[in-house]
Amino acid sequence: MSISNSSIRLRTLTTVMSLVTLMSFFIPAVFRAGGGIGDVVTAVSVVQKTDAGSAAQTEPIPPLVILDAGHGGEDGGAVSADGVSEKTLNLSIVLTLGDMLEAAGVPVVYTRTEDNGLYDGASPGHRKMTDLKNRLAVRQKYPEAVFLSVHMNTFSAAQYHGMQVFYSKNDERSKLLADLIRETNRTYLQPDNERVCKAADSSIYLLDRSGGCAVLTECGFLSNPEEAASLSDPAYREKVAGVLCASVLQYLYGNESIERTTQ
């Protein structure tokens, strides 16, 4: 199993600035007060500052966010008619999302940053479960972190499309984040998306076994040609990452009580 801490993934200032600019499109609430590239970082990082009136009392640091790109390695996940594998799109969105969150001062850990599964050493018949258990182990290593898994959907009938979010029923904060993702997506990306968030059953192993805030976003259907084409476009995937980033920031900082309970 390889767990890569995002802190070693360096980005140029230009890249970070462009990411924050993209984020500003999705985070009007943050920019309403001042408006500017620096404001979003300032607005977020102020939470980390020490209370000037009490040296011993420090403000909470931002909670860790675990980003889980579904599948990887020999497990490609869903595949579009054009042969695009889910695992590649998941990773692309997760890495962009991680850059956005880090630009906003939120620490990130990834379950994978390359095209690999987390099943080293397992026999072929045990690789899928080994992979899932290792992902769950990352989650359990940081039990208070926000856990966000990114996947693509597929179905036998091609007409179905649209993002859908699943949440762990083990902690009520999970539904809160799921609903934020749904509403942010409807506001900025898919206004006609009527899909409701669903509680994960035992078929979604990671959410079924996870404590804390844990959600899984199916970003779209690769079985739908139009949506598969969109998801194959890097610019569209950046928008999906922007929706997820804005939702996580809203979850962490949009409500004082939410922020406190995630510490």
Which spans of this chain sit near Zn ion (rule: CB under 5 A)? 70, 77, 151
Residue 219: CB minimum distance to Zn ion, A = 10
In angstroms, the CA 137 to CA 262 distance is: 19
Considering beta carbons, is residue 151 or 239 the nearer one to Zn ion?
151
Residue 241: CB minimum distance to Zn ion, A = 17
Residue 176: CB minimum distance to Zn ion, A = 23
In angstroms, the CA 241 to CA 248 distance is: 11
Residue 72: CB minimum distance to Zn ion, A = 10
Considering beta carbons, is residue 72 or 77 the nearer one to Zn ion?
77
Residue 77: CB minimum distance to Zn ion, A = 4
Considering beta carbons, is residue 23 or 78 the nearer one to Zn ion?
78
Considering beta carbons, is residue 20 or 69 the nearer one to Zn ion?
69
For residue 159, CA distances in Å to 85, 118, 166, 200 come to 19, 33, 21, 23
Considering beta carbons, is residue 154 or 185 the nearer one to Zn ion?
154
Nearest to 1 by CA among 145, 110, 150, 148: 110
Residue pointed to by tokens 């962490």: 252
Buried b vs exposed e over 39-75: b needs ≥16 C-beta within 10 Å? bbbebbeeeeeeeeeeeeeeeeebbbbbbbbbbbbeb
Residue with smallest beta-carbon separation from Zn ion: 151
